[in-house]
Amino acid sequence: MADKHTLARPYADALFDLAREDGTLDEWSSALGVAAVVAADERVAEVLHDPRYSDTRRIEFLTGLFGEMPGATMLAGGETKGTNLLRLLVDYDRIEVLPEIAGHFDELKAELENTIEVTVTAATPLSDELSARIRKALEEKLGREVTLSTAVDEELIGGAVIRAGDFVIDGSIRSRLTKLAGVLGS
């Protein structure tokens, strides 16, 4: 099977174009996010790959899991120009690429909206003031509106690791110590 990201891109691109046209970017993003979590569950994957079930039964199983969640009918083709994402993915045995579809869709959405999600992981909790200063500095550096989330990882010892998509700034003391150990060990 081809790389999951390669398989997911055409689905995400097509859905993004439809959602942008229909003004349903937020709804699709939410629906895909939930669907990705469901599809990534090992128990769900087990049922979906069980040869005793027909494709129709697999789709019924998935739509039953999605239940009343916002966007469930979108995924099953009930609202968006006859798009039936679940049918396509089940028919082509690609349901496991839903997390990648959701991820690529959200990347396209963030690019359109000129936003980026950034995670700052520090050894101790950040103050609101420091978080605001980091967010402002990143907005200036990246030229985008930043949605900042924070996390704590005591193993960093001190400093922080900033992740914005593929962009990473590792200013942790643990990283510096690892580099120093590498230099001293040479």
pLDDT tens digit sequence for 91-134: 898 988 999 999 999 999 999 999 999 999 999 999 999 999 99
- Whether residue 125 sits in one domain with residue 102: no
How far from the centroid of its chain's Cα atoms is residue 116's Cα?
A: 12
Closest CA to 111 of 39, 30, 25, 31: 25
Strand 167-170, strand 115-122: pairing: unpaired
Give the percent of the chain with pLDDT over 70: 91
- Whether residue 106 sits in one domain with residue 91: yes
pLDDT over 70 at 81, yes or no = no
Round to the nearest angstrom and report the end-to-end CA distance of the chain: 42
Q: CA dist 3 to 14, 92, 134, 139, Å?
A: 18, 15, 35, 33
Better-predicted residue by pLDDT, 145 or 78: 145
Residue 111 phi, psi (nearest 5) = -65, -45
Better-predicted residue by pLDDT, 120 or 69: 120
pLDDT over 60 at 164, yes or no = yes
In this prediction, residue 82 carries a pLDDT of 39
pLDDT digits (tens, 9 = 90+) for 97-107: 999 999 999 99
Neighbours of 62 (CB within 10 A): 23
Domain hosting 58: range is 4-110
Three-point CA angle 130, 166, 126, nearest 5°? 15
Q: Which of 77, 110, 143 is the last residue of a domain?
A: 110
- Whether residue 104 sits in one domain with residue 17: yes
Question: How far is the C-alpha of 114 from the C-alpha of 89, rounded, in Å?
Answer: 30
pLDDT digits (tens, 9 = 90+) for 19-56: 999 898 998 998 898 888 888 889 988 888 889 999 88
Residue 143 phi, psi (nearest 5) = 70, 30
